[in-house]
Amino acid sequence: MFEKLSRNGKRIQSADSLPARTSPAFESANDMKILNFGSLNIDFVYSVDHIVQPGETIASTGLEIFCGGKGLNQSIALARAGADVSHAGMVGPDGGILIDALTGNGVDTSLLRQVETRSGNAIIQVGADGQNCIVLYGGANRMNDRDYVDVVVRSFAPGDILLLQNEINLVDDIIARASAHGMVIALNPSPFDSAMTACDLDKVSVFIMNEVEGEQITGRRDAESILQAMADRYPEAEVVLTLGGDGAVYQYAGETVLAPAIPVPVVDTTAAGDTFTGYFLAARMRGETPAEAMRQATRAAALAVSRPGATPSIPVREEVLAGL
């Protein structure tokens, strides 16, 4: 895939080189704060020989309970990567374990709210090959209201970063209000569904997504076509496309940075994308180049897939830098 991109006239650089240009999204690096308005889930992780098929009943060889949700995972990844991050969202009466997980990693939870609905949860199967499948129950994650959104957005300044995923309600409203407030919006459009198509994606400054989400946004299947479609539709946005075992690609203003994957034994891929997102944004907030951010994010994701669980698999920054 990397070779194909390099033959088509784009300015291609490795993650060891420095792009000449960068987007204005991170011009205020080092002064930025980051708000992650996202999901908080209790994960029930079942170890299985293979992912269950329709009509099939199989036995699990193990059950572990972790704190998770894309929002929580990404906040913890940001914090372990050295970012000063605040988390907004809803938990239920059972959500103490989720709040403790965030505060225990240095995440500001002062904006969190508790509702009567049970916290979100996920049923996760992890096969012997490390691949996973996930069933989500939204629960409290779907209980955000517009008054709460206003309170949260007004707690930050224009130029601060808002990170969003798609495991909560009102994502379209949050994007609109944050954009009007002058925040920089970073979006991980996962899981992609009809709620995502209702969002004004022209207001997004940074897309971080995998090939599945890239196809769902653009209708294109291969990485090169996805990147071209994103450049055509959102020319002012930075785009990061993760490619699993093929690494990741950063694109902005006609420049492309390639970060090959780091080969490691795969144990559990559950939080790999969330780890990548947190480390990439944390590095960009420190004023580091996209190339350096890609190197750190790729290394962090490699460490994450070599360990079991979601949040327990996310490395601390010292581990990532030592590997580089």
Residues serving a catalytic function are: 274
The residue among 107, 88, 273 whose CA lies nearest residue 162 is 88
The residue among 253, 238, 241 whose CA lies nearest residue 297 is 241
Token pair 């050295």 is found at 82
Q: What residues pair up with 67 in beta bridges, in sequence order?
A: 42
The residue among 264, 287, 265, 278 whose CA lies nearest residue 314 is 278
- Cα–Cα distance for residue pair 294/230, rounded to 1 Å: 19
- Cα–Cα distance for residue pair 244/226, rounded to 1 Å: 15
41 CB-near residues (< 8 Å, 6+ apart): 67, 68, 69, 72, 98, 119, 120, 121, 122, 136, 141, 167
Contact 113, 141 (CB under 8 A): no
The residue among 226, 212, 271 whose CA lies nearest residue 78 is 271
The helix/strand/coil state of 56 is coil
From residue 184, alpha-carbon distances to 12, 19, 172, 201, 249 in Å are 26, 21, 15, 12, 21
Sheet holding 85-88, edge to edge: 11-14, 255-259, 248-252, 238-242, 206-210, 184-187, 161-164, 34-37, 85-88
The residue among 291, 281, 288, 264 whose CA lies nearest residue 76 is 281
Helix (H) or strand (E) holding 194: helix 194-197
Q: What residues pair up with 124 in beta bridges, in sequence order?
A: 45, 134
